[in-house]
Amino acid sequence: MKFETLTIHKGNHITDKNAPVVQPITLSTTFEHGNEGNMLYTRAGNPNRTALEEVLAAMEKGADAAAFSSGNAAGTAVYQALEPGSHIIAPNDMYHGLHNSMVQLFAGVLEVTFVDMSNLEAVKNAVRPNTKLFWIETPSNPLLKITDIRAIAQLAKAQGAILACDNTFATPVFQNPLDLGADIVMHSSTKYFGGHSDILGGALITKEKDSFWDKIRIVQRVGGAVPSPADCYWLTRSIRTLAYRMKGHAEHAMILAEFLLNHPHVEKVFYPGLKSHPGHAIAASQMSGFGGVVSFTVKGGAEDADLVVSKLNYFVNATSLGGVESLIERRAAVEGPDTLTPPNLLRVSVGLEHTDDLLEDMDQALG
């Protein structure tokens, strides 16, 4: 099946005797012993979660998938599955929630080195004898740096380490890290998978069902950070339109990026679809589209950036991304005092509104 077809049909399990076209929500927390699906207790397994995990694995061309209650829970499950004393190499501009998970939850348990993952030499120099995980995020959040997945995969293989890729920004519509050498793919399904800013969730997809994956499954089952049956249902429903939404997001993002590139009050634009982006060539070699997030720096400082945001009508000043509505945020204000994000940088999740309206609104706000 092609991608658009499998997202509609793969995660739709019909077992009801009335043969509904859409799989119903199974709210029961417990199941009669000896049932056909081997369901026992909904924390361990649920028909809606099984359906969701099946379509997630198919989208990323993986052997299995595990759904979690949030993107942070999914990423944290990978760190929990590592042996104490393991060393992680991670991006110095990664999503701050998972950055905090590494440095706060696992302080004294795991070691972490943060480097520019777009700089292969910096990554090589960070490798230690106990390096067990390379964590990459490409495009990165919020600077939209591009990491060469194939090159990092070679380093990980030589080290006998795991390569995990946060594929939230690209989605499997535009990038399949497992095909490029990654072992595990992570998603905040709150973002583009949900697509409407109303479902919290996370996911991991594995290339192989190995011993490390078994540990992750234990973390999921025993830790219990799993999505509700209703959230699994809504997420599976949203995924059916993912391919078409992503095409719109990417088209609109490119239009906005080109507009900003030529605006006199914009200092710099970060979008891998632009040929001026330092990672454009690598992005073009491993992505079929460049995603729906654009970051840019306003000429001036934080106050100037905040003023632009305050004048916007169609871009909502809010955290998160991936919804049909356009969102904008000054990321440094959210990430805290230790952030490396420029104080005048605005991250835009470009929505599906008409681009004429978006450009007109941005132009008047920039003055």
- Sequence-separated (6 or more) residues with CB below 8 Å from residue 338: none
Residue 347: active-site member: no
Look up residue 234 and give its DSSP letter: H
* Euclidean distance between CA atoms 216 and 221, whole angstroms: 9
- Going by pLDDT thresholds of 50, 70 and 90, the confidence category of residue 338 is confident
pLDDT, residue 11, reads 87
The answer on pLDDT for 36 being more than 90 is no
User: What ranges in the chain are assigned the alpha helix state H?
Assistant: 3-9, 47-59, 71-81, 96-100, 120-126, 149-159, 171-174, 211-223, 229-239, 242-261, 280-286, 302-311, 331-335, 355-366
Model confidence, pTM: 0.96
Residue 166: active-site member: yes
Find how far residue 1's CA is from the centre of its chain: 24
- The first and second tokens of residue 297, run together, are 């720096």
pLDDT, residue 271, reads 98
Is 136 strand, coil or helix?
strand
Give CA separation, 357 vs 15, 249, 351, 360, in Å.
45, 15, 11, 5
Could you read off the pLDDT of 137-192 as tens digits, one per residue? Answer: 999 999 999 999 999 999 999 999 999 999 999 999 999 999 999 999 999 999 99
pLDDT, residue 101, reads 96
- Going by pLDDT thresholds of 50, 70 and 90, the confidence category of residue 61 is very high
Whether the CB-CB separation of 236 and 95 falls below 8 Å is answered with no
* Euclidean distance between CA atoms 285 and 62, whole angstroms: 21
pLDDT, residue 363, reads 98
The answer on pLDDT for 340 being more than 90 is no
Work out the mean pLDDT of the chain and round it to a whole number: 96
Residue 217: active-site member: no
Q: Among residues 49, 79, 93, 95, which one is catalytic?
A: 95
Residue 275: active-site member: no
Residue among 142, 195, 186 nearest 168 (CA)? 186
Omega of the bond leading into 342 within 30 degrees of 0 (cis):
no
Helix (H) or strand (E) holding 88: strand 87-91
Could you read off the pLDDT of 229-277 as tens digits, one per residue? Answer: 999 999 999 999 999 999 999 999 999 999 999 999 999 999 999 999 9
pLDDT, residue 22, reads 92
Residue among 186, 148, 152, 139 nearest 289 (CA)? 139
Q: Among residues 43, 61, 124, 221, which one is catalytic?
A: 43
- The first and second tokens of residue 198, run together, are 């109303």
Q: Among residues 191, 245, 330, 347, which one is catalytic?
A: 191
Q: Among residues 93, 148, 166, 183, which one is catalytic?
A: 166
